[in-house]
Chains A and B, each alone.
Chain A
Amino acid sequence: MIEADGKCLRCGGCVSVCPLDALTLTESGIVCSDKCTDCGICAEFCPLSAIKTEKVGE
């Protein structure tokens, strides 16, 4: 599962690159479903490095 921190500006770009369609942009931020496999593509895309995944994050 991924999580976006306070840097997230809700641009939604991550949603478009998720190969599993696991992400949704809502009023309050990015919501990640349990389809997520922590592939890290969304984190790689994020212009603000706001996304942490279990694999990519520290």
Chain B
Amino acid sequence: MFPEIPSEVDIAVIGLGPAGSSAAMACAKAGLRVLGIEKRQEIGSPCRCGEGLSRSALERMGIELDEKWVNIGLYGQTVYAPNGKYVRIDFDEPKGWIIERKVFDKHLAVLAARAGARILSRTEALDLVRENNKINIRLNSGNGTGEVRAKIVIAADGVESKIARNMGINTTLKLVDIASCAQFEMANVKIDSKRAEYYTGNEIARAGYAWIFPKGKDTANVGIGIRKPFANKTAYEYLKEFVNSHPGLKNGSIVEVNCGGVPVGGLLENMVADNFMVVGDAAHQVNPIHGGGIAEAYVGGRIAAEVAVEAVREGNYSKEFLSEYNKRWWKERGNKLKKLVKVRELVENLTDDDLNWLANYMTGEDLINLTRSSGIKRLAMLLMKKPRLLKFARKLL
């Protein structure tokens, strides 16, 4: 059973996470005919996310904070070294939030619909065929198939993306470039409900970290991300051990279990083909240090949409024309994220001893600045004080 769908649109967006809804919204606002397609029966669910969103990320997205999808404002953060030493920072006002993705993602889809996009949930894009300077998409709604033609397809189909590969863009991730994650949403836990906590250490989360993100006064997302070429256990095993060894968590209850992959590298030089663009997780647009991808996906979707709108106005859907999106994305986000991949490569080489040592010298401010080039420089200067770390310092400069 299909609701009436148009047989032809200007833009078809496949996948309605933050990347897809952002792209659909921006194209619809510019007056294009847009169809947004999501295979899940409910947009945003199940949620595969720690749900952390910083103030700077929100500002980059340019959307209004809405209490409908905000759980908790964060007044500080603490990062623990393996020996329990910590670096903390406090804020007078929230510098980040733990949101509710199930509500947030649906809210973004509603905004796209309100801007004029047609949204179809429980509809999967099966395959794409390029024909006469358009792309035919075969759709499946569970008990029936249909077809739609689009001048441009924007693939926002997340980490499980197949579509870009089908269109000739190699999006295969190397194991070293994807974090393997497991997360519990927990209730009845004893935590600081106003601060995000991160735990480092090779026994705790090899080449990654554990997080406690409060969702309420006694509820939290507790998760682990590791990288598999380095770790010798699964993310789930690390997570169970972390929870059992944490006094505030071990007596809590698990109300939801998630797992997932987060691209933390493998940035794509080319994200377009004729009549085709790829955005968000599907294009590995994620911050490689902390794995945050909500805002990156949203911004990637918007940049792609800007170029798609120009393409439709010019009537030119060629790879050459659309590659303006590559240029703009790399200028606005890619070059920054590429620098952060170097910090990520440092992290995988740090021993527990190095992490404990760093905790003596780093300030909360330094931690926040790690995602900026000034902060990376300062980290490199620090590393130079320890002979073993000199070679890593050089790589950062």
Contacts and interface: CB of A to CB of B under 8 A. Distances in A.
B258 A11 contact: yes
Interface string B234-273: 1110000000000000000000011111010000000000
Contacts of B172: 16-19, 21
B230 to A, nearest CB: 11
Contacts of B175: 17, 41, 44-45
Contacts of B180: 13, 45-47
B260 A13 contact: yes
A47 B234 CA distance: 5
Contacts of B165: 21
Interface residues of A, number: 20
A9 B160 contact: no
B160 A17 contact: no
The 8 lowest CB-CB distance pairs between A and B, nearest first, are: A13-B261, A12-B160, A47-B235, A47-B259, A11-B260, A25-B160, A15-B160, A47-B182
12 contacts: A9-B258, A11-B258, A13-B159, A13-B178, A13-B260, A15-B159, A16-B171, A17-B172, A18-B172, A25-B160, A44-B228, A47-B260
Contacts of A37: none
B173 interface: yes
A2 B178 CA distance: 20
A47 B260 CA distance: 7
A18 B161 CA distance: 11
B261 A48 contact: no
Interface in B121-167: 158-162, 165
B53 to A, nearest CB: 21
B388 interface: no
A34 B372 CA distance: 45
A52 to B, nearest CB: 13
Q: Which of A11, A18, A19 has the most CB of B within 10 A?
A: A11
B205 to A, nearest CB: 12
B178 A45 contact: yes
Interface residues of B, number: 27
Contact of B160 (A16, A44, A46, A49): A16
Interface in B295-351: none
A41 B261 CA distance: 13
Nearest to A18: B172
A41 B263 CA distance: 15
A24 to B, nearest CB: 6
Contacts of B159: 11-13, 15-16
A16 B261 contact: yes
A6 to B, nearest CB: 13
Contacts of B236: 47-49
Contacts of B261: 11-14, 16-17, 45, 47
Contacts of B178: 13, 16-17, 45
B174 interface: yes
Nearest to A26: B124
Interface string B375-388: 00000000000000
B265 to A, nearest CB: 12
A48 to B, nearest CB: 5
B162 A9 contact: no
Nearest to B281: A16
A29 to B, nearest CB: 12
B188 to A, nearest CB: 23
B235 A16 contact: no
A9 B181 CA distance: 12
